[in-house]
Amino acid sequence: MPKRPNFVYIMTDQHRSDWLGCYGHPVVKTPNIDALAAQGTRFDNFFVASPVCMPNRASFMTGRYPSVHGLRYNGCVLPKGTNTFVDVLAASGYRTASIGKSHLEPFTGIDNMNKPDDVDGMERPILEARETGDLTQVNEEPAQFVGDETHDLPTPYYGFQHMDLVTGHGHRCGGQYAQWLRRERDDWAEFFKPENELSHNYTCPQAFRTPLPEDLYPTGWVGARAVDYLNTAAGSDDPFFAYVSFPDPHHPFNPPGKYWDMYSPDQFDVPLPYSAHENPIPPMAWLEEAFNSEGKSITPQTAFRVSDQHIKEAMALTAGMITMIDDQVGKIVETLKANGQFENTVICFNSDHGDYLGDFGLLLKGMFPSRATTQVPMIWSDPETRSGRVSNALSSTVDIAPTILERAGVAPYRGMQGKSLLGALGGYDDLRDDLLIEYNEGMPKFGLDAPVRVRSLRTNDWRFTIYAGQPFGELYDLNTDPNETRNLWDDAEYSGIRGDLALRMNHQLTQQMDESPRALRLA
């Protein structure tokens, strides 16, 4: 009986697909990730289920869309009792580990700003349609990690038997990483004092030159913990699944040490300024007006408009964070080779969503589901198919879970919505004709009077987007306008195309029903 493969699944945070050397970026250096692509399959048409952290990470874990798995927007939780593909692997004999960012539960400890508890003065005796016991998990919140000694999370944690948890972003992360840092350095608090920031000439919002050394920075910690786990796993006959999740290159922009000035803003251009869009939708125009009137971002996580110089500075610092991740990927691969596991390990590289990173003058992510935030890198390097192939299969985050399970030789659970990508590794790219992308806002933003619900349909030729309850929408011809700069929504010449795509989206939305649990009896 052939030995079952190991898996190392590497995920980055807020990393758009075109910011890797193997995807054609002319500046950022990623030789180790590029090497994975050169000996594996690079997916050039891979999209998220939702362009925001928590919903898409839950889709990765479950193979289901946010509207079905229940973690609909940031601030929700993946309910207790949810099965994940990691649960399936563990049940079939795999050792499972999560090293780095999980974010399947909120990690801020901050209450939602838009949380009404009464209606017209009446208290709600029952607050939620679903029992709140499934919606109040606090395993990743700061209160769990106040001491120096490592707080052990309850395991299995969504299927993971081993946890090395990082919460937050940038140099000031929390979770088990923060507890380790407190033990490692008595002077740990000095690294985070504003007066100890290292000197620099950047003025980009959220740029901070951290004095934290590279080996103490979260990216270095995640890489080191991954190496430790892989060396330990080499001593067992059981196969393993290691999820290695870096919290970078998500903002704030603060690569440590040599990575801060590894790149210069002068090396970067702004190819898609705001003026490149011929007819932006009202929320985008609202952001432009706020920028011109010197308005401020709604929250540190909300997309905002910035100057070209600030975009270039953010690009340079993002590139530094990406190259630091690439160096850690190199260490992980070298560890697998040194301990004899490389030839039996599938290595994947992926991201949870992208970043506007200058497109139409914007930074971060938000309700506009352009390629910048919805298209992410996906690389599958497999000892059985080390081919250097490029796949154009229209694929999604929901496809990852069934792909891994099929490669492991394990049947998926009922209710999984994705499709296996194994056929694409062998050259079969006709996976689907269209795919759905969901996005839900948790509060009113960008001049709208209610939290917006956004649904997008992607085909090889079109991007069709509905903003529920709004009079505007988006329609782009991706063949003639790949950068999505001319919105054809109101163009009468394309009304037939719009109608056809609306029907196709209706078919997609009609399928968004949970098929689990199955009926056990006749009625």
Choice among 85-94, 104-113, 392-401, 443-452 with the minimum mean pLDDT: 104-113
Q: Give the model's pLDDT for residue 294.
A: 76
pLDDT band at 3 (very low <50, low <70, confident <90, very high): confident
Cα separation, 53 vs 73, in Å, equals 8
Residue 135 in this model has a pLDDT that exceeds 60: no
Which has the higher per-residue pLDDT, 312 or 366?
312
In terms of Cβ atoms closer than 10 Å to its own Cβ (0-12, 13-18, 19+), residue 185 is: middle
Residue 109 in this model has a pLDDT that exceeds 80: no
Other residues' Cβ atoms within 10 Å of the Cβ of residue 184: 12
Dihedral Cα 445, 447, 452, 456, nearest 10 deg: -100
Query: Does any domain span residue 195?
Result: yes
Contacting residues for 291 by C-beta, under 8 A, at least 6 apart: 304, 305, 306, 361
Q: Give the model's pLDDT for residue 298.
A: 67
Beta bridge partners of 46: 395
Residue 363 contacts residue 311 (beta carbons within 8 Å)? yes
Q: What angle do CA 106, 70, 14 make, to 5 degrees?
A: 50
Other residues' Cβ atoms within 10 Å of the Cβ of residue 117: 7
pLDDT in tens, 240-257: 999 999 999 999 999 999
pLDDT band at 76 (very low <50, low <70, confident <90, very high): confident
Cα separation, 356 vs 289, in Å, equals 18
State the average pLDDT for the chain. Answer: 93
pLDDT band at 121 (very low <50, low <70, confident <90, very high): confident
Residue 396 in this model has a pLDDT that exceeds 60: yes
Residue 351 in this model has a pLDDT that exceeds 90: yes
**Beta strands 41-43 and 389-391, pairing class:** parallel
Q: H or E element: which one contains 31?
A: helix 31-38
Query: Does any domain span residue 489?
Result: no
Amino acid at 204: C
Query: Does any domain span residue 322?
Result: yes
Query: Does any domain span residue 488?
Result: no
Cα separation, 3 vs 36, in Å, equals 22
Peptide bond into 156 cis (omega under 30): yes
**Beta strands 46-47 and 395-396, pairing class:** parallel
Peptide bond into 300 cis (omega under 30): no
Residue 111 in this model has a pLDDT that exceeds 80: no
Residue 517 in this model has a pLDDT that exceeds 80: yes
Report which of 297, 267, 73 is spatially closest to residue 206, judged by C-alpha positions.
Answer: 297
Other residues' Cβ atoms within 10 Å of the Cβ of residue 89: 24
Query: Does any domain span residue 153?
Result: yes
pLDDT in tens, 462-477: 999 999 999 999 999 9
Residue 134 in this model has a pLDDT that exceeds 60: no
Dihedral Cα 29, 30, 35, 36, nearest 10 deg: -160
Choice among 91-95, 204-208, 297-301 with the minimum mean pLDDT: 297-301
Half-sphere exposure of 207 (CA within 13 A, CB side): 23
The total of structural domains in the chain comes to 1
Other residues' Cβ atoms within 10 Å of the Cβ of residue 113: 10
Query: Does any domain span residue 86?
Result: yes
Q: Residue 326 in 3-state DSSP?
A: helix
Cα separation, 42 vs 388, in Å, equals 8
Q: H or E element: which one contains 449?
A: none
Q: Give the model's pLDDT for residue 115.
A: 58
Residue with tokens 């560890």: 335
Q: H or E element: which one contains 329?
A: helix 308-338
Three-class SS string for 250-297? CCCECCCHHHCCCCCHHHCCCCCCHHHCCCCCHHHHHHHHHHHCCCCC
Residue 1 in this model has a pLDDT that exceeds 50: no
Residue 57 in this model has a pLDDT that exceeds 60: yes
Which has the higher per-residue pLDDT, 84 or 427?
84
Tell me the pTM: 0.95
CATH for 103: 3.40.720.10
Q: Residue 323 in 3-state DSSP?
A: helix
Structure tokens of 430?
Answer: 């006709």
Q: H or E element: which one contains 57?
A: helix 53-62
Of the chain, the percentage scoring pLDDT greater than 70 comes to 96
Peptide bond into 79 cis (omega under 30): no
pLDDT in tens, 428-459: 999 999 999 999 998 899 999 999 999 999 99
Of the chain, the percentage scoring pLDDT greater than 90 comes to 80
Average pLDDT over residues 296-317: 89
Report which of 207, 335, 192, 308 is spatially closest to residue 260, judged by C-alpha positions.
Answer: 207
Contacting residues for 51 by C-beta, under 8 A, at least 6 apart: 353, 354, 365, 369, 373, 374, 437, 439
Residue with tokens 């990765």: 60
Residue 154 contacts residue 139 (beta carbons within 8 Å)? yes
pLDDT in tens, 60-70: 999 999 999 98
pLDDT in tens, 21-50: 999 999 999 999 999 999 999 999 999 999
Question: Structural domain of residue 238, as residue ranges?
Answer: 6-110+133-433
Residue 147 contacts residue 178 (beta carbons within 8 Å)? no
Q: How far apart are the first and last CA of the chain?
A: 44
Residue 285 in this model has a pLDDT that exceeds 80: yes
pLDDT in tens, 136-154: 678 888 888 998 889 899 9
Q: What angle do CA 480, 481, 483 make, to 5 degrees?
A: 150
Contacting residues for 344 by C-beta, under 8 A, at least 6 apart: 3, 5, 6, 383
pLDDT band at 75 (very low <50, low <70, confident <90, very high): confident
Query: Does any domain span residue 250?
Result: yes
pLDDT band at 80 (very low <50, low <70, confident <90, very high): confident
pLDDT band at 116 (very low <50, low <70, confident <90, very high): low
Query: Does any domain span residue 120?
Result: no
Residue 32 contacts residue 327 (beta carbons within 8 Å)? yes
Residue 170 in this model has a pLDDT that exceeds 60: yes
DSSP 8-state secondary structure symbol assigned to residue 519: P
Average pLDDT over residues 388-403: 97
Cα separation, 466 vs 486, in Å, equals 16
In terms of Cβ atoms closer than 10 Å to its own Cβ (0-12, 13-18, 19+), residue 242 is: buried
Q: Give the model's pLDDT for residue 114.
A: 59
Q: Give the model's pLDDT for residue 296.
A: 67
Which has the higher per-residue pLDDT, 120 or 180?
180
Inter-axis angle of helices 308-338 and 31-38, nearest 10: 60
Residue 224 contacts residue 203 (beta carbons within 8 Å)? no
